[in-house]
Structure 1
Amino acid sequence: MPDWSYQTLFKPLLFRLPSRVARGLTLNAMGRLSRIPGGTLLIKTLGHMEPSPVLESRIADVPAPTPIGLSGLTDPQGVAHRALSQFGFGFIEIGPVTVKPVVSSSPILNDRHKEIIVYPSEYENDGLAIVKRLIEHPKHALPQFVRIAPMPGSSDDQAIDELDMLLQALSPTPVVGFYLDFLSSDNTPERNIGLLKLVSETIVQSKTACDKPLFLYVPLDFPSDWLMQCLDPIAPSLWAGYVIGCSLHDTRGSSVGREGMDRAIALIRMLRATIPADRVIKASAGVHEPQDAITLLRAGADNVLLGSGLVYAGPGLPKRVNEAIIHEKLRSTPEPQVPSFWKHWGWMSLLGIGMILGGFIAWLIASSSVLLPYDEDFLGMTRSELQQINGHLLHFMSHDRITLAGTMISIGILYYQLANNGLKHGLHWARTALLVSGIVGFPSFFLYLGYGFFDPLHAAAAAVLFPMFLLAMRGNPDRPYRKPVNLRNDRIWKKAMWGQLCFVALGASLSVGGLVIATVGVTHVFVPQDLSFMGITREQLDLANPQLIPLIAHDRAGFGGALFSDAVMLLVLALWGLQQGERWLWWTLLAGGSPAFIAGLSVHYRISYTDFVHLLPAYIAIALYIAGLILLYPYLMKATRK
């Protein structure tokens, strides 16, 4: 469920359910999807959230694809870890884990207006035995850090024994590091300091898990002056870093949400000013939009963990945070040199121009003579003789050819724009959109050959354009997106999610439509409304001239293939390419879609082929198109807000 479906469809429904039920439904659905064949590929395709190499980092010598982690409170049972690992995270936190299960049946509260989740028990978990099996059999390749804690209400001696037991039990597993959670604001400063000293001595003496980095877990509401006392040199080399918690405690339980951000920033700054520079600081409070993560990182955090933000912003939050971090990293570096026109992107520009010119020429012919000389030679009939068979026959053929011409112009505009604004700058999504479009578009030339008709003009165009496509796809490595990105979950962004949903739906429906039209073109050729419009049967056409159906099949299959090629490119653009402030994208969507819609609707009305059922898919498509343009306008045409 990407943001464009979560914010618009699923979140309003899920927020009407009890929080435990909503969480269970969401995680189980994602878990099941990731377990079916092709499920993880579908997740990747919908979100395009593979992290850039620019984000690679190390956490206490542990390599991580990104500095963004998944909070253990998000999926405590690991039901959807395989799916969540595809969202752009660099590591996964598991826990808290206690020796025995901590169970609570009290409801989880969701204050949607303040964006706060209240857990009745912060330490609710399945216990060591069950969690250990989860850790031992990960369904993903991300590094796992485990947060371990004594049972609530344990004495100091019990806490020491339980932490030692947890370390001994989990050290042989694929865990890469531990968070030790035993400090508490409910204790006195003296008890916390004494407990810290006992834990340090126990670990050092027993040598338990000393080969894996240990992090001291600092509760978010832990008093700053107490923390300063705890940072007094007590086995200072023991801790690889510090993890700032996400929960504020009150009579309702543990509150996790936006309200913890200011407190987290204060603790980060205090720690960064006190601890050695090589110590890691992780923060997990209040990250609900990319700007929150950037604020924590600028304050001195090395890593941030996402939890409640996924509930309120959506599953695309890790990707958005990663994009914001990339911009932070690259904003002060020099722009890479623009590749030569003839390197790769220029060939795609020429291909686009060729498609546009070809489309206009095809439209001119289809609006006038309709048939070309080689069409008449294939039929063995002139245009006037063909008209005598049926008065609507030429109109019908013109309608197929004009819609094809409009689609060709649309493809050409998209090719040209994606080449000059995407391929030129090494944008992966633009290259993928062009590649997929070409892969499905050029072979459509062969769809109608089974009927025995060979279109020499189409063949000549393909012979000229296909080498350009191959030259455009060579030697163009991906580059990270460098421009400012969206940082806020504001009204403009939320409206854009509806616009994105419209264009995703449009791209998907046109893709299906293109496949259906191509399939009809190479099989039945006509739908009932076609024959009703002409007032003739297929058998009568075949009897009048056996070459007529092969010629019409060529037009239908060609249009279906072109529409599919256009639609998959639009779908990739809608899924992966929309970035705030990219004005060229809005103009591309406007200019790229207009010729196809104008051609398709105008010719139907010009020849009076206005059957409502036949045109209903077109009406729905143009409604999605116009709505998407309106909803995306503020997002694409307005620069990002810092």
Structure 2
Amino acid sequence: MPDWSYQTIFRPLLFRLPSRLARELTLRAMGRLSRLPGGAFVIRTLGHMEPSPLLESRVTALTFPTPVGLSGSLDPEGTAHKAMSQFGFGFMEVGPVTVSSVRSGQPIVREAAAESIVYPAYAENPGLKAAARRIAKPGHTLPQLVRIAPMPGTRGERALEELRLLRARLAEAGAAGFYIDVLRDCEGTEEALALLERIPGAAEAGRPLFLYVSLDYPNEQLERLLERLDRSAWAGIVVGEALPAAGGGVRIGKACKAAALEKLRAIRRVLGPGSSFDRLGSRDVNGFAVKAAGGVHEPQDAVDLMRAGADYVLLHSGLVYAGPGLPKRVNEAVLYEKIRGEPEPLPPSFWKHWGWMCLLGLGMIFGGILAWLVATTTVLLPYDEAYLGMDLEELSRINANLLHFMSHDRITLAGTMISIGILYYQIAANGLQHGLHWSKTALAVSGVVGFSSFFLYLGYGYFDPLHAITAAALLPMFVLSMRNNPDRPYRKPVNRRNDRVWRLAMWGQLCFVVLGFALAAGGITIAVVGMTQVFVPEDLAFMQVTPAELEAANPHLIPLIAHDRAGFGGALLSDALALLIMALWGLQQGERWQWKTLLVGGAPGFIAGFGVHLGIGYTDFWHLLPALFALALYVAGLILLYPYLMRSPQTQDA
């Protein structure tokens, strides 16, 4: 459920349901998908959430792949933790966890206009036994940090006993560390200090401890507490995510960001000023780590909290309103802030790797233009005529539309070759050159499929020497372009706002993702048809002939046509995969070259397809319907993506 499907399809549907039911359906669906064979791979592939190693950091003995965590109260049962571990999170919070379960039958209230969620109970959770079972078998490798709390209203010695039991049982189950949530029931600084001093430190328990502070805890009281607290026993502090709601319960949402910023300022007045981006220059977060969980609904919110002093952020309501791509977007914004002041390395030589792919793309464009010229004039090459043992005049006498039909296959193949060449050249020059992971993946997958499709030409026993020579000439360029090109971070400003331009872009991205999948399905279908039955009923109706009649006229005719069809199917699949991966993983706000590439790269295929069908009179509606559907997606996607790709993202500097 990436943002391009969540914002456009699933969120409107889910928001029509009661909040508890919507949450349960969503979490169960994700959980079930992640448990299927290959399910986690599908989730990771659709969102491409692999974080940069530059985001990795350590707190004591814990390593966090990214500075973004998942709030435990979003999924209190842990139903979808395995699925959400693929979203780009660096750690998972579990909890709050109390010794016994805390349940509420009251509804969860979703306030869409304010982007907030009201929960009827502060500590609703399934209890210690259920938490221990799922911590023991998480289905992922991310650190699990457990927020533990005494039962509501419990104080003093009884609270300490419950915390000791929770720590012992959950540490045994595999908890990596603990958030100690006890301040809400303490009256004043003295009681809080007395309680905290009796909690054994991290060394005794073998797991780092973080002090959990709710957003409504008085700032002055927090400052006095931190000044007197023995911070050597604690790994850090966690600023909570919720404020009290009128009528009971707690509210979690966008409006909590202001309170979180105030809390961070109070903490920094004691710990010392400084942006976490300064400290992230090292992989070790030195001293007292600070985490904030309030009001992160867009990447800019996370950047603001980290500039105010948070080393890590946790997500909750932002996932509900922005979508599951929010962790990835936050990671990209944090990475940009982290490296923006560093000098950019010199670009690699044209001949190192990316230039060879540019030459391959130019070769495809040149070959496609030549193929188009041949297909619109002689249609067949001399070796085609030699294979058939017939010239053009003899072929025309077999069937008046036969040459038109053959030119239809060859012109569409030529247009697809030109489209592939444009995509390859642009992705190489603007992505591969800069070491962007998605660009290497797009070119590698598309190239392997494209070169492998040469063998489809042999499906009916016809060997095309020109195609063989072309493939042999281009293959070394492909191999050279894939060598020795390590991933490098994206260095341009990234989108940070959930504004109208971004929301429109989600619809545009959906159009191109669907188009990519549709073209891939079409390519596979055409290739399979070319290797088996060769013709669809509309083809035979256009030519007004049967396969038996063609076979009787010349036994080499069908193998020649099959070779064209299978080759076109393979080329279309190769084109579709490059487009699909670019649409899934590569689109970034302000990258004008991407919009121009989508426009210019798609045009030859559509011009060739519709132009030849109209030119030869092959205008059967059902035959053209898939192409019309693809054209509609193409045009709509370009229109919807135009403001996003052609306008630089807004940034808010310190």
What TM-score does the superposition give when structure 2 sets the normalisation length?
0.96
Equivalent residue number for residue 219 of structure 2: 224
- Does the 8 Å CA contact 2:222/2:266 hold for their aligned counterparts? no
- Matched to 1:362, the amino acid is A
Equivalent residue number for residue 292 of structure 1: 301
- Does the 8 Å CA contact 2:180/2:212 hold for their aligned counterparts? yes
1:53-77 Cα deviation digits (max 9, x unpaired): 0101112331110111010011111
Equivalent residue number for residue 117 of structure 1: 117
Equivalent residue number for residue 554 of structure 1: 563
- The SS at the match of 1:87 is coil
Distance in 2 (CA, whole Å) between partners of 1:152 and 1:567 is 56
Distance in 1 (CA, whole Å) between partners of 2:435 and 2:109 is 45
Distance in 2 (CA, whole Å) between partners of 1:236 and 1:5 is 45
- The SS at the match of 1:106 is coil
- The SS at the match of 1:447 is helix
Give unpaired runs (5+ residues) of structure 1. Answer: none
- Size of the aligned set, in residue pairs, is 637
Q: Deviation of residue 199 (structure 1)?
A: 3.4
Distance in 2 (CA, whole Å) between partners of 1:284 and 1:114 is 17
Cα separation, partners in 2 of 1:208 and 1:474, compared to 1, 3 Å: closer
Does the alignment pair 1:469 with 2:478?
yes
1:283-432 matched pairs, under 5 angstroms: 283-432=292-441
Equivalent residue number for residue 107 of structure 1: 107
Distance in 2 (CA, whole Å) between partners of 1:234 and 1:472 is 58
Does the alignment pair 1:188 with 2:187?
yes
Q: Which moved more, 1:574-583 or 1:129-138?
A: 129-138
Equivalent residue number for residue 40 of structure 2: 40
Does the alignment pair 1:439 with 2:434?
no
- Matched to 1:160, the amino acid is L
1:13-28 matched pairs, under 5 angstroms: 13-28=13-28
Equivalent residue number for residue 276 of structure 2: none
1:487-636 matched pairs, under 5 angstroms: 487-636=496-645
- Does the 8 Å CA contact 1:200/1:238 hold for their aligned counterparts? no
Equivalent residue number for residue 494 of structure 2: 485
- Does the 8 Å CA contact 2:186/2:192 hold for their aligned counterparts? no
- Does the 8 Å CA contact 1:216/1:242 hold for their aligned counterparts? yes
Equivalent residue number for residue 277 of structure 2: none
- Does the 8 Å CA contact 1:7/1:313 hold for their aligned counterparts? yes
Q: Which moved more, 1:152-161 or 1:439-448?
A: 152-161
1:240-279 matched pairs, under 5 angstroms: 240-250=235-245, 251-275=247-271, 278-279=287-288
Distance in 1 (CA, whole Å) between partners of 2:191 and 2:488 is 52
Distance in 1 (CA, whole Å) between partners of 2:459 and 2:555 is 14
Equivalent residue number for residue 198 of structure 1: 195
Distance in 1 (CA, whole Å) between partners of 2:647 and 2:417 is 30
Equivalent residue number for residue 50 of structure 1: 50
Q: Deviation of residue 263 (structure 1)?
A: 1.0
Equivalent residue number for residue 97 of structure 2: 97
Equivalent residue number for residue 164 of structure 2: 164
- Does the 8 Å CA contact 1:197/1:234 hold for their aligned counterparts? no
- Matched to 1:472, the amino acid is S
Equivalent residue number for residue 275 of structure 2: none
Distance in 2 (CA, whole Å) between partners of 1:193 and 1:533 is 90
- Does the 8 Å CA contact 1:167/1:208 hold for their aligned counterparts? no
- The SS at the match of 2:110 is strand
Q: Which moved more, 1:368-377 or 1:166-175?
A: 166-175
- Does the 8 Å CA contact 1:193/1:229 hold for their aligned counterparts? no
- Matched to 2:81, the amino acid is H
Cα separation, partners in 2 of 1:64 and 1:487, compared to 1, 3 Å: same
- The SS at the match of 1:439 is helix
Q: Deviation of residue 171 (structure 1)?
A: 2.4
Distance in 2 (CA, whole Å) between partners of 1:461 and 1:507 is 26
- Matched to 1:257, the amino acid is G
Distance in 1 (CA, whole Å) between partners of 2:190 and 2:89 is 34
Distance in 1 (CA, whole Å) between partners of 2:531 and 2:32 is 37
Q: Deviation of residue 338 (structure 1)?
A: 0.5
- Does the 8 Å CA contact 2:155/2:186 hold for their aligned counterparts? no
- Does the 8 Å CA contact 1:60/1:280 hold for their aligned counterparts? no
Cα separation, partners in 2 of 1:478 and 1:236, compared to 1, 3 Å: closer
Distance in 2 (CA, whole Å) between partners of 1:318 and 1:441 is 34
Q: Deviation of residue 130 (structure 1)?
A: 1.0
Distance in 2 (CA, whole Å) between partners of 1:626 and 1:252 is 50
- The SS at the match of 1:395 is helix
- The SS at the match of 1:504 is helix
- Does the 8 Å CA contact 1:97/1:146 hold for their aligned counterparts? yes
Q: Deviation of residue 201 (structure 1)?
A: 2.1
1:85-127 Cα deviation digits (max 9, x unpaired): 0000000000000000001010000000100100000200011
Q: Deviation of residue 209 (structure 1)?
A: 4.7
1:252-282 Cα deviation digits (max 9, x unpaired): 3100001111111111122122137710110
Distance in 1 (CA, whole Å) between partners of 2:231 and 2:539 is 81
1:448-488 Cα deviation digits (max 9, x unpaired): 31322111111110010011100101111111111100000
Distance in 2 (CA, whole Å) between partners of 1:606 and 1:272 is 72
Distance in 1 (CA, whole Å) between partners of 2:414 and 2:334 is 43
Equivalent residue number for residue 177 of structure 1: 177
Distance in 2 (CA, whole Å) between partners of 1:542 and 1:70 is 65
1:380-428 Cα deviation digits (max 9, x unpaired): 0000000000000000000000000000000000010011001000011
Equivalent residue number for residue 149 of structure 1: 149
1:276-311 Cα deviation digits (max 9, x unpaired): 771011000000000000000000101000111000
1:52-67 matched pairs, under 5 angstroms: 52-67=52-67
- The SS at the match of 1:584 is helix
Q: Deviation of residue 202 (structure 1)?
A: 4.3
- Does the 8 Å CA contact 2:363/2:421 hold for their aligned counterparts? yes
**Runs of 4+ in structure 1 over 4 Å off:** none
Report percent identity of matched pairs: 63
- The SS at the match of 1:248 is strand
Q: Deviation of residue 156 (structure 1)?
A: 2.3
RMSD after superposition: 1.2
- The SS at the match of 1:481 is coil
Cα separation, partners in 2 of 1:209 and 1:115, compared to 1, 3 Å: farther
Equivalent residue number for residue 283 of structure 2: none
- Does the 8 Å CA contact 2:231/2:288 hold for their aligned counterparts? no
Give unpaired runs (5+ residues) of structure 2. Answer: 273-285
Equivalent residue number for residue 81 of structure 2: 81
Equivalent residue number for residue 72 of structure 2: 72
Equivalent residue number for residue 235 of structure 1: 230
Q: Deviation of residue 210 (structure 1)?
A: 3.5
Q: Deviation of residue 373 (structure 1)?
A: 0.5
Distance in 2 (CA, whole Å) between partners of 1:409 and 1:171 is 60
What TM-score does the superposition give when structure 1 sets the normalisation length?
0.98
- Does the 8 Å CA contact 2:102/2:126 hold for their aligned counterparts? yes
Distance in 2 (CA, whole Å) between partners of 1:209 and 1:611 is 78
- Matched to 2:548, the amino acid is E
1:606-638 Cα deviation digits (max 9, x unpaired): 000000000000000000000000000000000
Distance in 2 (CA, whole Å) between partners of 1:80 and 1:94 is 12
- Matched to 2:398, the amino acid is I
Does the alignment pair 1:8 with 2:4?
no
